[in-house]
A = this chain, B = another copy of it.
Amino acid sequence: MGVGDVSKRILLGRKLRSAQLGETLLPKRIALPVFASDALSSVAYAPDEVFIMLAIAGASAYVWSWKIAIAVALVMAAVIASYRQTVHAYPSGGGDYEVATVNLGRTAGTTVASALLIDYVLTVAVSISSGAQYAAAAIPAFLDHEVIVAVAMVVLLTAMNLRGIRESGSFFAVPTYLFMFAILGMCLYGFIQMATGTLPDVESADLEIAPDEGWDQPLTTIGLLFLLARAFSSGCAALTGVEAISNGVPAFQRPKSKNAATTLLLLGTIAITMMVSVIVLARQMAIRYVDPHDIDKLTRDGQPLPDDYDQHTVIAQIARAVFIDFSPGFYFVVTVTGVILVLAANTAFNGFPVLGSILAQDGYAPRALGARGDRLAYSNGIVFLAVMAIAFIVAFEAETTKLIQLYIVGVFVSFNLSQLGMIRHWTRALATERDPAERRRMFNSRIINTIGLTFTAVVLVVVLITKFLAGAWITILAMAFFFFVMRKIKGHYNSVELELAADETDKALPTRVHAIVLVSKLHKPTLRALAFAKATRPNSLEGVYVSIDNAETARLLEEWDDRNTGVPLKVLHSPYREVVKPIVEYATAIRGANPRSVVAVYIPEYVVGRWWEQLLHNQTALRLKGRLLFTPGVMVTSVPYQLRSSQILRDREEREDARVRPGDVRRGQTEGTDRQVQ
């Protein structure tokens, strides 16, 4: 059986296996929860932000709350509609980054990538901080320890992702559907109570809010507009995560784009319904909600609140009031909300490596991130994400309100560039398209994206004006940093490519091969290396031994003669027990004397399986290889000898390979034995 046959069989073999095991595509009912947790979870904090911002002018400003809810809903509808265009036009899963790069160029693409990197970090920071608040609502012991709780949750998530948690469809489906059921059920129950006139007030209803200084007089128009703009931009936190589906089109069942678009519509409808319901209900139940930093703005009957007063999140307050006679209802709502927030954070751990691998393929990130199965690169990414998120959580004391200011900027930067790119895309498509029906469709799409751009641009401007000093500048600084690093990496790869480009001078073959086999002892690995080196029939072949002890050298020489290997042995004396240097110098000298030849250095290596065994072996071989690589005209051959214990590591590697890694589901890829998606 020749090599050709073997390779053909392998190629077929692999193809077959890929087709069988590889693609496990998601039906809509699974795709929705997989991609929705991030977007839906924002209902856990977005309404709170609206009430906090309005509270600046006192509780009377809450009259605007449902109008702001409508405005946010409108923007969300526009964005959802826009992304429905994107999933049709760019079904490859490149998302905003691809749209911006293709239509607006590399600079815009890199800007979007920087924004997305920050977004992933802040998704973790915001979701987990909010999750810690819900945990504190359910478990009083966590109160005032939100930072520790949040950091512990990030560490736990990181450990699970490093270990290789499976992101399966059902993993998402159950809690996400439970969350929808909980929130929508709670709202429905509340509305029924409202209709029957039995809707109770929330716990904070009897409080008064002292307006901020300067906001206690009747508002000027400018003042009112500014207030509403701030509340509106904070409410737009509800939009975070809706772009996720545009990155996951390849994971959908066919017809992929259509299914993705339908899922987006579904997601949008549910998200809008939830958000508007919560805000309207909270307002009806007379909520009073302020920035947790300004808790002393709340008073009861003119008296300050007791020191141990705790302000619970809006959903927690609603749930407690609505389910006043049914406390399991309250705990259910709060628990699934907490769970969905953790899931939302986990999506960042899944999306981050995917983004990294796309960037790596384009040369904007270390190339190792681009290959699947590089555990080290993958782990570094996870740890990087976690460390950044923890830094933000600690720096902002796990306060969702503050982190939101940073979050929205990044999200809307990529929304804007993506919409702008889509408009360009349609304009370009219209320039060549002649079919009138198709042209009309494109025209409509362009209008939708233009509306989307208008809305998101307004939000971005509002956000930048109202939130720049409140933290948005940090995001912009961080984006600039990532932008710079990515450009630097790309520049490096480009200059290396230039230096490596083949030209006509690279065809000369070396005339001779001088092989040297390193000998430390005359044992099986050495004999194998000698045999392999002999099999390559070099022009000259010798063993090389570095002598650091005369008695040992004499013993080896004798053994060498006894063995009758037919290969001469060169002894290099090294009175100071240096091993690496004499060999490097010897190889250099051989090459120096024969500039058109190549020196092949054969190094026998032991392959062992346990970590501590690896500390005990091959260290010198490693160093030697490191040094020989700097020597021109030298090639270094490792001849491995597998010790019995190597089986341990081999088995472990195979087990690791079989494991599905986070991010696979949303790439539409699974591999290994477990591939059920129900």
* B14–A542 CB distance below 8 A: no
Given contacts A11-B572, A509-B534, A636-B638, contact A607 B629 (CB under 8 A): yes
* A5–B593 CB distance below 8 A: yes
With a CB–CB cut-off of 8 A, which chain B residues contact A22? 575-576
With a CB–CB cut-off of 8 A, which chain B residues contact A653? 627, 630
8 A Cβ contacts from A581-613 to B: 581-582, 585-586, 589-590, 592-594, 598, 600, 602, 605-608, 613
Given contacts A535-B598, A589-B7, A590-B6, contact A620 B368 (CB under 8 A): yes
With a CB–CB cut-off of 8 A, which chain B residues contact A625? 638
* B630–A585 CB distance below 8 A: no
> What residue in chain B is nearest A552 (Cβ atoms)?
B361
Confirm or deny: A398 has a beta carbon within 8 angstroms of a beta carbon on chain B: no
Confirm or deny: A10 has a beta carbon within 8 angstroms of a beta carbon on chain B: yes
CB distance from A599 to the nearest CB of B (A): 9
CB distance from A23 to the nearest CB of B (A): 9
* B590–A7 CB distance below 8 A: yes
Quick one: which of B377, B572, B638 contacts A635, CB cutoff 8 A?
B638
Confirm or deny: A528 has a beta carbon within 8 angstroms of a beta carbon on chain B: yes
Confirm or deny: A499 has a beta carbon within 8 angstroms of a beta carbon on chain B: yes
* A644–B499 CB distance below 8 A: yes
Quick one: which of B10, B366, B619 contacts A368, CB cutoff 8 A?
B619
Alpha-carbon distance between A593 and B549 when the two chains are bound, in angstroms: 44
* B606–A496 CB distance below 8 A: yes
CB distance from A622 to the nearest CB of B (A): 9
With a CB–CB cut-off of 8 A, which chain B residues contact A528? 506
Alpha-carbon distance between A598 and B532 when the two chains are bound, in angstroms: 7
CB distance from A645 to the nearest CB of B (A): 9
With a CB–CB cut-off of 8 A, which chain B residues contact A549? 361
Alpha-carbon distance between A592 and B9 when the two chains are bound, in angstroms: 12
Confirm or deny: A454 has a beta carbon within 8 angstroms of a beta carbon on chain B: no
Given contacts A536-B536, A573-B14, A606-B496, contact A578 B502 (CB under 8 A): no
With a CB–CB cut-off of 8 A, which chain B residues contact A617? 367, 496
* B616–A373 CB distance below 8 A: no
8 A Cβ contacts from A620-663 to B: 620, 623, 625, 627-632, 634-644, 646, 649-650, 653, 657
* A3–B542 CB distance below 8 A: yes
With a CB–CB cut-off of 8 A, which chain B residues contact A606? 496, 500
* A535–B523 CB distance below 8 A: no
Confirm or deny: A145 has a beta carbon within 8 angstroms of a beta carbon on chain B: no
Question: In which size bucket is the chain A interface?
Answer: 35 or more
With a CB–CB cut-off of 8 A, which chain B residues contact A575? 18, 22
Confirm or deny: A487 has a beta carbon within 8 angstroms of a beta carbon on chain B: no
Confirm or deny: A579 has a beta carbon within 8 angstroms of a beta carbon on chain B: yes
8 A Cβ contacts from A468-501 to B: 489, 492-493, 496-497, 499-501
Confirm or deny: A374 has a beta carbon within 8 angstroms of a beta carbon on chain B: yes
CB distance from A331 to the nearest CB of B (A): 42
Given contacts A577-B371, A625-B638, contact A510 B496 (CB under 8 A): no
* A635–B641 CB distance below 8 A: no
Given contacts A371-B579, A531-B510, A619-B368, contact A589 B524 (CB under 8 A): no
With a CB–CB cut-off of 8 A, which chain B residues contact A146? none
8 A Cβ contacts from A538-597 to B: 538, 540, 542, 549, 563, 570, 572-582, 585-586, 589-590, 592-594
Quick one: which of B522, B576, B657 contacts A581, CB cutoff 8 A?
B657
With a CB–CB cut-off of 8 A, which chain B residues contact A629? 605, 607, 638, 640, 642
* B525–A14 CB distance below 8 A: no
Confirm or deny: A527 has a beta carbon within 8 angstroms of a beta carbon on chain B: yes
CB distance from A515 to the nearest CB of B (A): 9
In this complex, the member of A377, A575, A592 whose beta carbon has the largest number of chain B beta carbons within 10 angstroms is: A575
* A540–B598 CB distance below 8 A: no
Alpha-carbon distance between A625 and B653 when the two chains are bound, in angstroms: 14
With a CB–CB cut-off of 8 A, which chain B residues contact A14? 572-574, 582, 585
Alpha-carbon distance between A502 and B522 when the two chains are bound, in angstroms: 7
With a CB–CB cut-off of 8 A, which chain B residues contact A634? 640
* B500–A641 CB distance below 8 A: yes
> What residue in chain B is nearest A15 (Cβ atoms)?
B573
CB distance from A92 to the nearest CB of B (A): 11
* B630–A636 CB distance below 8 A: no
* A615–B510 CB distance below 8 A: no
In this complex, the member of A538, A574, A576 whose beta carbon has the largest number of chain B beta carbons within 10 angstroms is: A576
With a CB–CB cut-off of 8 A, which chain B residues contact A640? 628-631, 634-636
CB distance from A255 to the nearest CB of B (A): 20
CB distance from A615 to the nearest CB of B (A): 6
Alpha-carbon distance between A632 and B637 when the two chains are bound, in angstroms: 15
CB distance from A650 to the nearest CB of B (A): 5
Confirm or deny: A98 has a beta carbon within 8 angstroms of a beta carbon on chain B: no
Given contacts A497-B523, A502-B524, A649-B630, contact A590 B18 (CB under 8 A): no
8 A Cβ contacts from A141-195 to B: none
Alpha-carbon distance between A549 and B497 when the two chains are bound, in angstroms: 19
Given contacts A525-B500, A527-B506, A616-B489, contact A573 B637 (CB under 8 A): no
Confirm or deny: A372 has a beta carbon within 8 angstroms of a beta carbon on chain B: yes
Confirm or deny: A466 has a beta carbon within 8 angstroms of a beta carbon on chain B: no
Alpha-carbon distance between A657 and B576 when the two chains are bound, in angstroms: 13
Given contacts A14-B582, A575-B22, A581-B657, contact A540 B638 (CB under 8 A): no
Can you list 17 A-B pairs, Cβ within 8 angstroms, ordered by A?
A: A5-B593, A10-B582, A10-B586, A14-B582, A15-B573, A18-B573, A367-B617, A368-B620, A370-B577, A372-B578, A373-B580, A493-B616, A500-B521, A500-B524, A506-B527, A636-B640, A637-B637
Across the A-B interface, give the 3 residue pairs with the lowest CB-CB distance, nearest first: A368-B619, A500-B523, A629-B640
Known A11-B573, A18-B573, A581-B657; further 13 A-B contacts with Cβ < 8 A: A5-B593, A6-B592, A9-B589, A10-B586, A489-B616, A496-B608, A500-B524, A513-B536, A535-B598, A576-B671, A602-B635, A629-B638, A635-B637
Binding site for B on A (CB under 8 A): 1-3, 5-7, 9-11, 14-15, 18, 22, 357, 361, 366-368, 370-374, 376-377, 489, 492-493, 496-497, 499-502, 506-514, 521-528, 531-532, 534-538, 540, 542, 549, 563, 570, 572-582, 585-586, 589-590, 592-594, 598, 600, 602, 605-608, 613, 615-617, 619-620, 623, 625, 627-632, 634-644, 646, 649-650, 653, 657, 669, 671
